[in-house]
Amino acid sequence: MLECGKTLKNLEITYETYGHLNSNASNAILICHALSGNHHAAGFYKDENERPGWWDALIGPNKAIDTDKYFVVCPNNIGGCHGSTGPSSINPETQKIYGPDFPIITVKDWVNSQSLLADHLKIKCWHAVIGGSLGGMQALEWARLFPNRITKSVVIAAAPKLSAQNIAFNEVARQAIITDPDYQEGKYLDFDKSLLMTKLLDYYDPAESFDGNLVKAFETITAKVMVISFSSDWRFSPQRSREIVNALLAAKKETSYLEIESSHGHDSFLFAEERYVNALSAFLGN
């Protein structure tokens, strides 16, 4: 059952794994991708001439997320276009492609579907859940929604909710697509056109059910939380990360915070800057 009240039947989740799960399944790490990401987080499919996974700089042997130590899982979230159930899937009720009729998905829906994947993999508790940007929001939701199934949460370049400016930017992007002659009322797949998924970001607000009180929203958290921000990130500035940190501290949660000097803007979380790598590696290892 989705948060919007609809149900997805025959749910499929595409995912990749790296490393090996130990005997008691205590070394598993979940990687949550951002809006434009997918399940291919590290390595190459065939040879080094192909594009590596989107977080290859941080995932692999002797890297920040060391696949010699950890069993790393990265799913493609539902509602996207990379193999998991989404608008390009067949609606079992109509036997036609969902297209624009695919139901609205939320961060909570993503986390709930990831919990089903954990069940499938027989992982009772993640050693850590890690994500950048929208992935960081998922890591935070995991700590809130499933406190007994996560030991550590790493929230990178994220925010507790979108600012009015960010929502406006998303709406500008949507309007650019909707007014395009190739929009076809959202029926892209009938005309070999692209897809769209930005409102999920707009809707994220864990404090909404608590009268805007972020501290109360974090009361269920038992995991250790590391929050990381980057100096040049204007999308989710360090100030937004500090909102998360301050609420966690007020809720008396075990929290650490690191602000990294970087010139790469919001995409800084994709680059293996030394201080960033060392901090992440140490947090996972402690």
pLDDT greater at residue 45 or residue 54: 54
pLDDT in tens, 76-120: 999 988 999 999 999 999 999 998 889 989 999 999 999 999 999
CB-based contact 158:140 (threshold 8 Å): yes
DSSP per residue over the chain, as a string? --TTS---SS----EEEES---TTS-SEEEEE--TT--S--SS-SS-TTSPPPTTTTTEETTSSEETTT-EEEEEPPTTSSSSSSSTTSEETTTTEE-GGGSPP--HHHHHHHHHHHHHHTT-SSBSEEEEETHHHHHHHHHHHH-GGGBSEEEEES--SS--HHHHHHHHHHHHHHHTSTT-GGG-GGGGT------HHHHH--TTGGGTT-HHHHTTT--SEEEEEEETT-SSS-HHHHHHHHHHHHHTT--EEEEEE--SSGGGGGGS--HHHHHHHHHHHH-
Residue of 33, 84, 109, 233 marked active site: 233
Structural domain contains residue 59:
yes
Catalytic (active site) residue 20: no
* Domain span holding position 59: 15-160+206-285
The gap between the terminal CA atoms of the chain, to the nearest Å, is 37
**What is the number of structural domains in the chain?**
1
CA distance 201 to 198: 6
Q: Which residues contact 23 (CB under 8 A, 6 or more apart)?
A: none
Structural domain contains residue 266:
yes
Q: What are the distances in angstroms from CA 213 to CA 107, 154, 208, 209?
A: 19, 21, 8, 8
Catalytic (active site) residue 190: no
pLDDT in tens, 134-188: 999 999 999 999 999 999 999 999 998 654 455 444 454 555 555 555 555 555 4
**Bridge partners, residue 159, by sequence:** none
CB-based contact 134:160 (threshold 8 Å): no
Residue with the two structure tokens 């139901």? 103
CATH of the domain at 125: 3.40.50.1820
Q: Which residue, among 125, 99, 115, 128, has the nearest Cα to 11 in the 3D structure?
A: 115
Structural domain contains residue 198:
no
pTM above 0.85, yes or no: yes
Residue of 84, 89, 113, 133 marked active site: 133
Structural domain contains residue 274:
yes
Structural domain contains residue 245:
yes
Catalytic (active site) residue 88: no
Residue of 39, 40, 127, 266 marked active site: 266
pLDDT in tens, 176-230: 555 555 555 555 444 333 374 666 777 788 898 999 999 999 999 999 999 999 9
Structural domain contains residue 9:
no
Structural domain contains residue 2:
no
Structural domain contains residue 175:
no
